[in-house]
Amino acid sequence: MNLELYFSPGACSFVAHFALEAIQQASGQSFEPRLVKIHKGEQFAPEFLALNTNAQVPVLVVDGKPLTQIVAISIFLDQSFPQAKLLPTDIWARASALSTLTWFNNSVHPTFTHFFMPAKFATDETAQSLIKEKARVDYRKHMERLDGMVKNAGTPFLNGATPGVLDAYALTLYRWSGFAGIDPASLPALRDCVQPTAAAPAMAAAIARERIDLHTYKAA
Ligand X SMILES: N[C@@H](CCC(=O)N[C@@H](CS)C(=O)NCC(=O)O)C(=O)O
Indicate whether 56 belongs to the interface with ligand X (CB under 6 A): yes
3-state DSSP assignment of residue 12? coil
Indicate whether 55 belongs to the interface with ligand X (CB under 6 A): yes
Stretch that binds ligand X, among 50-58, 124-132, 138-146, 162-170 (CB under 6 A): 50-58
Indicate whether 70 belongs to the interface with ligand X (CB under 6 A): yes
The string of DSSP codes covering 171-199 is HHHHHHHHHTT--GGGSHHHHHHHHHHHH
Residue positions counted in the chain: 220
Identify which of residues 156 and 178 has a Cβ nearer to ligand X in the complex: 178
**Shortest distance, position 116 Cβ to ligand X, whole Å:** 9
**Shortest distance, position 46 Cβ to ligand X, whole Å:** 15
Indicate whether 108 belongs to the interface with ligand X (CB under 6 A): no
3-state DSSP assignment of residue 155? coil
Of 10, 33, 11, 12, residue with least CA distance to 21: 33
Q: Which residues fall within 8 angstroms of residue 11, CB to CB, at 6 or more apart?
A: 38, 57, 58, 172
Identify which of residues 36 and 203 has a Cβ nearer to ligand X in the complex: 36
**Shortest distance, position 30 Cβ to ligand X, whole Å:** 22
Indicate whether 171 belongs to the interface with ligand X (CB under 6 A): no
Tell me the C-alpha distance between 220 and 218, whole Å: 6
- In this structure, are residues 198 and 167 in contact, taking their beta carbons and an 8 Å threshold? no
Indicate whether 19 belongs to the interface with ligand X (CB under 6 A): no
Indicate whether 51 belongs to the interface with ligand X (CB under 6 A): no
Identify which of residues 120 and 145 has a Cβ nearer to ligand X in the complex: 120
Write out the residues near ligand X by the rule CB under 6 A: 11-12, 38, 43, 55-58, 68-70, 105
